[in-house]
Amino acid sequence: MRTKDSFTPWDKLYPYKGTMYHATWPTLKELFEITVERFGSRVCWKEFVPKPVSYTYSEALPIVKGIASWLLGSGIRKGDKVIVSGKNSVAWGFGYFAVIFAGATVVPLDNALSDEDFIRLARFSDSVAMIIDSKRLKNVASDLPMKTVACLEENGPAEWIMHKSAEYVEPEPCSEDDIAQILFTSGTTGTPKGVMLTHRNLVSDIFLSQANMNIFETDVFYAILPIHHAYTLLAVFLEAMGVGASVVFGKKLVVSQMLKDLKEGEVTMFLGVPMLFNKMYGAVMAGLKQKGRLVYGTIRGLMGISGWLKRTFGLNVGKHWFKFLLKRLSLDTNRICICGGGPLPASTFRGFNELGIDFVQGYGLTETSPITHLNPIYAFKESSVGKVVAGTECKIVDPDEDGNGLIFIRGPQVMKGYYKHPEATAEVLDQDGWLNTGDIGQVDEENYLFLSGRAKSVIVSEGGKNIFPEEIEDKFQLYTEIEQLCVIGYIKDKQSAGEHVRVIIFPSQAFAEGKTAEAIQERMEQIVKEVNATLLPYKRIEMVTVVDEPLSMTSSKKVRRAEVSKRYEIA
């Protein structure tokens, strides 16, 4: 018999084992049905643009089954690949689960792909059907023969399919080891890397990650980052479904619309990337500075006290002291902010916590569904990307003198492999189930992970020292004059095998407007000088290149380092 102390989040599933599911973990279809059984009257998905739309789990289920029936009637069978692509929306949610209920495999494609790349990935994935927006359909339909296609119209959720629906007949059942979705990693070039994730991968990650964080059916998640991305897809869309919580779909990364969505949706769970949180925190601090030194100094002093009380005694006084500031960010109803997709400056992490927000970091990869580490809100470490989640192992291979080595992960959330790419799979996944993440970091005695950077990005100095570009880039994150930057290595002397450090900077429009190129260059070099003063000598930047056009980025707002390095390569 389980005691209260041994209770785990996945214990909530056990009353349904043997009736609604029979394996170690339910499939996504079974989990959705369990959630309808538990929380049918709760809102699952809603949006406010272009018009308010809201569905409960009980209301969503027959629509999902109706679309699934149409897919099955069109000849879709178990294991078939079906593309779902479009902007974040309630309709996207219906499309995704309709494919799951048809027993097929979802291929979520980036809505920002060029038509050429969309067609390339559609063909490579062997997809036989598409549920996509009308603009894309018009551009690619003639190049992609499919069994069936449907439009995700922006002006409504699923009315486009209801008249085609028939009585739902259960398809051939899926097992927990069947592939639920294939996600293509961002920046795919050459042979595409489609990450095959099973039902077990995804459902286990939904619940294992909750051992580090309490999530409730009363929570409201905000889906503002692209939903095809592993981070938003699992940590927002599927995580909410697993516990009976709600998802508010955001349409654009525009601050004014975001603040409106957060307020109207009464969001409690806000997941974002470092760039987003840095801008929000920077805006609050800039507003305080405009009120004068006395006000700014007083608030910062109170923030320091608030942070100390929270770390020492677990008292969150900031939520009450700074409610007026949180209202400006539409975060007064927010319970937890989670940052993923890259390391965050400790100052931003600390600042949000001091303001009364339970703010934590997480870590993972597309290949791990993606969550493998998450900071518990009751025991967070500001410079760590999190503590390993339940049922998951993490080890550091070939650590250097500082303890930094390759990060390997093993657990039920680790992918089945890369689609049609056994060689690439064998390169990162061994026979014992250990995945080479390609990241460099170290683990402390409490299993908290500290990230240094990507192995393929490491710059090796003349003295043989490893320099991690990400570590240097972090130092720039709160400089509002900089919109984007990328730290890369370069060969200063062809007679030497060592690399030196260079930074490519794209200034912010607000800073650059009305200034000469010389003035912009001077300020950028001044900032670099300030950052260099905080770095060890062998890590210091020696070359500063200011560019006048944005750096190439992925849909998850990461600079494409390889492209930048190639473009600005020194002859």
**Largest separation between any pair of C-alpha atoms in the chain:** 74
How far is the C-alpha of 214 from the C-alpha of 481, rounded, in Å?
A: 38
Within 13 Å and on the Cβ side, how many CA atoms surround 28? Answer: 32
165 or 410, higher pLDDT: 410
190 or 13, higher pLDDT: 13
How far is the C-alpha of 231 from the C-alpha of 236, rounded, in Å?
A: 7
Amino acid of residue 275: M
Q: Is residue 56 within 8 Å of 90, Cβ to Cβ?
A: no
95 or 255, higher pLDDT: 95
How far is the C-alpha of 497 from the C-alpha of 302, rounded, in Å?
A: 51
pLDDT at residue 247 greater than cutoff 70: yes
Q: Is residue 198 within 8 Å of 417, Cβ to Cβ?
A: no
Position 328 scores a pLDDT of: 85
Q: Tell me the β-bridge partners of 410.
A: 393
Dihedral sign, CA of 325, 326, 327, 330? positive
Quick one: tokens of 560?
Answer: 């494409």
- DSSP track, 478-539: T-TTEEEEEEEEE-S-TT----EEEEEEEE-HHHHTT--HHHHHHHHHHHHHHHHTTS-GGG
Q: In terms of C-beta density within 10 A (0-12 exposed, 13-18 middle, 19 or more buried), how is residue 271 classed?
A: buried
Sequence-distant (≥ 6) Cβ neighbours of residue 361 within 8 angstroms: 338, 339, 340, 343, 344, 349, 374, 375, 380, 384, 385, 386
pLDDT at residue 436 greater than cutoff 60: yes
Position 482 scores a pLDDT of: 93
List the single range of 157-171, 218-232, 511-525 with lowest mean pLDDT.
157-171
Instruction: Taking residues 25-49, report their average pLDDT.
Output: 97
List the single range of 83-92, 181-190, 281-290, 450-459 with lowest mean pLDDT.
181-190
pLDDT band at residue 232 under the 50/70/90 scheme: very high
pLDDT at residue 546 greater than cutoff 70: yes
Q: Hey, how many other C-beta atoms are within 10 angstroms of the C-beta on 8?
A: 15
Q: Is residue 356 within 8 Å of 319, Cβ to Cβ?
A: yes
- DSSP track, 51-120: S-EEEEHHHHHHHHHHHHHHHHHTT--TT-EEEEESSSSHHHHHHHHHHHHTT-EEEE--TTS-HHHHHH
pLDDT at residue 7 greater than cutoff 90: no
pLDDT band at residue 1 under the 50/70/90 scheme: very low
CATH, domain 457-567, list 3.40.50.10540, 3.40.640.10, 3.20.20.100, 3.30.300.30: 3.30.300.30
Angstrom distances, CA of residue 377 to CA of 337, 374, 380, 436: 10, 9, 6, 28
The single residue listed with the structure tokens 């399919």 is 161
pLDDT at residue 462 greater than cutoff 80: no
| Helices 255-265 and 274-289, packing angle to 10 deg | 90
How far is the C-alpha of 382 from the C-alpha of 319, rounded, in Å?
A: 19
Position 496 scores a pLDDT of: 62
Percentage of the chain lying above the pLDDT 70 cut:
94
Position 134 scores a pLDDT of: 86
Over the stretch 73-92, which tens digit does the pLDDT of each residue have? 899 999 999 999 999 999 99
How far is the C-alpha of 29 from the C-alpha of 32, rounded, in Å?
A: 5
Please state the length of the chain: 571
Local structure of residue 395 (DSSP, 8 states):
E
How far is the C-alpha of 364 from the C-alpha of 537, rounded, in Å?
A: 31
pLDDT at residue 184 greater than cutoff 80: yes
Within 13 Å and on the Cβ side, how many CA atoms surround 39? Answer: 21
Position 153 scores a pLDDT of: 66
Over the stretch 296-349, which tens digit does the pLDDT of each residue have? 999 999 999 999 998 888 899 999 999 999 988 889 999 999 998 777 778 888
Instruction: Taking residues 529-553, report their average pLDDT.
Output: 93
List the single range of 176-190, 235-249, 444-458, 545-559 with lowest mean pLDDT.
176-190
Position 495 scores a pLDDT of: 63
For residue 349, the surrounding DSSP H or E stretch is helix 346-354
Q: Hey, how many other C-beta atoms are within 10 angstroms of the C-beta on 295?
A: 12
pLDDT band at residue 565 under the 50/70/90 scheme: confident
Domain residue ranges of the chain, discontinuous segments joined by +: 457-567
Q: How many helices (H) and strands (E) does the chain have?
A: 20, 25
Q: What is the rounded average pLDDT for all residues in the chain?
A: 90
Cis geometry, peptide bond prior to residue 50 (ω within 30 degrees of 0): yes
Position 159 scores a pLDDT of: 53
pTM: 0.86
Cis geometry, peptide bond prior to residue 399 (ω within 30 degrees of 0): no
Amino acid of residue 153: E
Instruction: Taking residues 170-178, report their average pLDDT.
Output: 95
pLDDT at residue 209 greater than cutoff 70: yes
pLDDT band at residue 165 under the 50/70/90 scheme: low
Tell which residue, 70, 58, 61, 29, has the closest CA to residue 166: 70
Instruction: Taking residues 478-498, report their average pLDDT.
Output: 83
Q: What is the SS3 assignment for 404-420?
A: CEEEEEECCCCCCEECC
Q: Tell me the β-bridge partners of 453.
A: 440
Phi, psi of 194 (to 5 degrees): -100, 115
* Phi-psi category of residue 557: left, alpha or beta, with phi > 0 → left and psi -120 to 50 → alpha: left
pLDDT at residue 412 greater than cutoff 90: yes
